[in-house]
Amino acid sequence: MEKKIIATDKAPAAIGPYSQAIEAGGFVFASGQIPVDPATGNIPNGIEAQAKQALTNVKNLMEASGLSMDNIVKTSVFIKDMNDFAKVNEVYATFFENDFPARSCVEVARLPKDVLIEVEVIAAR
């Protein structure tokens, strides 16, 4: 099996021994994207702003792969507080124009850099 590393400076750089995304077998597997602005390193305040930045990072990774958000078939959303579920959904819905991908959403105890949200995706070519 051939695999291709996907990398872009329009999403946060990997902060450990992993790739931003890997393409293999016609799929792109993106590592979890946290709401770090790759240009400044800043993390916005509030769940809506953080959800928007995390999903913007996902979108930029898809574009670096030659894909769009419409190619995403599965998302996993990790949030710090399940009470933010409705707010996350409002932002999430603005990033998809056609059919929504399958999705998991779970509350977690802690995320890298103590952010409020992390999003990972699988896309099909």
The set of catalytic residues is 105
Q: Are strands 21-24 and 3-6 parallel, antiparallel or unpaired?
A: antiparallel
Q: Which pair of tokens denotes residue 44? A: 């916005």
Give dist(CA 9, CA 39) in Å, integer: 8
In terms of Cα–Cα distance, which of 105, 26, 91 is closest to 59? 91
